[in-house]
Structure 1
Amino acid sequence: MFVFVLQYFALLLFIFVLEILAGILAYIYYQQLSDDLKTNLRVTMIEKYRVDGDKRITKAVDKLQQEFRCCGSNNSKDWQESRWVKEKLSGERIVPDSCCKTVTNGCGKRDHPSNIYKVEGGCITKLEGFIMAHLKIIGAVGIGIACVQIFGMIFTCCLYRNLKADTPY
């Protein structure tokens, strides 16, 4: 019986240490992830929007801009550098229609603040804010689970001591 209690304690301790290490690694690599996200979002918008024939990228960018009420990676001027505009695939649009506050066909032709989401920092700022808000929730859940594990280890130690005390030598 003692062996099983000790094994249970060791397993809880091992899982707890793994969770601590995962948290430390997530904290260390967050900045690299943030930089990669900025670069990849910009490249995707500039080089792949409505160009490669893969409609999933276009739908994802359009959904991002509508859901987060933003336009472009850093701002709406990012679209002027895109292949979509430079190769005249935009149909005279300055920005995609998904940048419009009220989406109608061709609304991206008129680049006016009353019509276009002019968010300082663009979609990347909104996306980072969304991720940070959800990371706080994930962190709180992680701390809650860690507390349960710590209590489990404490109660396992108490059980071990009681079993040891009840066993005659």
Structure 2
Amino acid sequence: MKNYIIKLFSLILSIGIITGCELDDPEIEYAAVTELSGEWYIQYEIQQTDGSWVNPGFGYFTLLTSNTAANSETEMMVNDTDGWGIQYKVNVSGLSFSASDVTELGGSGNVTVSNGIVIKDGGFSTSGVVADSIYLEFVQPTDDPTVYRASGVRRTGFLEDEH
């Protein structure tokens, strides 16, 4: 029995030594839409019949942008977690994005997004830190043709910028 335990321990130790060899560092790959991906603090505005925009005073909401499972440079996921709670896929070209009558993934209807853009270092957080900004206009997945505008800045992670 003692001999069996020693052989088993030797086998485990041998496997540990063999698998403990140094390997090359893994190559770090980024998502295809890394520059567009992130967590954003946005505010909504509603387009009036005369074309002007009104801020209804809803406050700040969180918008998430990320790559799709295909990790393509031409598409991105947009997840409006706090506002309407909708998630949809948009077409990407550089730092611009749009979608024409795409299905909202929760099944609540179709979404149209226009004039979507991320501007590098184009905004300021609440504390005054320079941050990337995002802008988009959309029609939500209902029968209501109201155009909404969402704009804001990338989350910095600083406590004084949290909303």
Q: TM over 0.5, yes or no?
A: no
Where relative contact order (Cα < 8 A, 6+ residues apart) is larger, the structure is 1
Which is richer in strand?
A: 2
Q: Give the structure with higher Rg (CA).
A: 1
Which is richer in helix?
A: 1
* TM-score, reference length from structure 1: 0.30
* TM-score, reference length from structure 2: 0.31
